[in-house]
Structure 1
């Protein structure tokens, strides 16, 4: 069994962005590459959880999976569980695909500060539940939440007694590093 696996969430609808954010370009690379690069030094294996229509757009050498059939289309929480089921590990470092400013050091520091069943990041009161670390022991609670129709990641984190780690402890530029890019003009304003 692996100690740490990475889960890269790349299956969102990207409604506000207007095209799939995973493949949006920033400085010559698609967004998902930045999250992948941040996870690689700390994860023995990384799985990208995506939608069927994106499978052909991602490189063959990447481990790809889709939502478990029972939970298809139920959002990021379903993606986290689907990633956990695709790779057996003691813990999982999770990142969304829409944070092109993510720094590798953030993942290392987050893993070092992780305690309990789940840890996630907050920046001056704004929570970033998808920048997180989950123990394998959290799977039953995630599954139960989804079975109850509760898709909210923060609901599952609260149920597990998750801890919130201040982003300023992980990077000197938390407002930039943890920025979810939701519209193309947000890149231009950088």
Structure 2
């Protein structure tokens, strides 16, 4: 999930007024990845988002963190049956060939275009169970005046899939995807995005779980705060 250090687009480019006050935010959990490093079947789950952490799927922790911050919450993925236990509407990729998390972002922006014009899309991966409670608020405050997205950053690294996307980016994102671009961080740069840094309080709120070893770390961290 994490991108390279020293992002080439502005950091903490806060711009009050970049989005109108009261703009609705729609949440989307990006849950369509293969997660081959995790080996979900060996852990008793069909897919990585459904691997258990503290007795609940990883994606359920993400949903719990996002739900109070958004007007509506969805998941993106091409296996609605596997994601059904989350109890969320599932958006399939709008483009063929599994083009990655940007396809999920596009699915969310397509939804906004048809059901909630003018809303913002907040995305987060299904494997980041410790998201901060101020995620939407800080990204909203950091939206660039030029209309680009804002993504999270911590410990000198950006997290491009944890981002707030204005609805107006939909057509440009579709063109980039149809042209073969798959790099989320690069797309944020092309779209004039900003990276918004979170303070270091000892535990990275954007820690993501990609392997059984990282799952054990997450379990220890969850137990320490329970």
TM-score category of the 2 structures, normalised to the smaller one? 0.7 to 0.9
1:76 to 91, 101, 116: 101
Q: Map 1:120-139; keep pairs closer than 5 Å.
A: 120-139=151-170
In the alignment, the residues of structure 1 paired with residue 77 and residue 29 of structure 2 have an alpha-carbon distance, to the nearest angstrom, of 9
- Equivalent residue, structure 1, for 2:55: 28
1:176 to 193, 204, 213: 204
Question: Quick check: 1:6 aligned with 2:6?
Answer: no
More helix by share: 1
State the 1:176 CA deviation: 2.6
2:90 to 64, 76, 80: 64
Q: Would the aligned equivalents of 1:38 and 1:107 in 2 still touch at CA under 8 Å?
A: no
TM-score (norm 2): 0.74
2:173 to 128, 131, 142: 142
Where structure 2 has 5 or more consecutive residues not aligned to the other structure, the ranges are 1-22, 41-46, 221-226
Q: Would the aligned equivalents of 2:51 and 2:57 in 1 still touch at CA under 8 Å?
A: yes
State the 1:72 CA deviation: 4.3
1:167–1:86 Cα change, 3 Å: same
Q: Which moved more, 1:23-32 or 1:122-131?
A: 122-131
Q: Map 1:86-105; keep pairs closer than 5 Å.
A: 86-87=111-112, 88-89=115-116, 90-105=119-134
Cα RMSD (Å) of the superposition? 2.0
TM-score (norm 1): 0.87
Higher relative contact order (CA 8 A, sep 6+): 2
Q: Which moved more, 1:43-52 or 1:141-150?
A: 43-52
Q: Would the aligned equivalents of 1:5 and 1:92 in 2 still touch at CA under 8 Å?
A: yes
In the alignment, the residues of structure 2 paired with residue 103 and residue 153 of structure 1 have an alpha-carbon distance, to the nearest angstrom, of 21
**What is the number of equivalent residue pairs in this alignment?**
184
- Equivalent residue, structure 2, for 1:55: 81
State the 1:60 CA deviation: 7.5
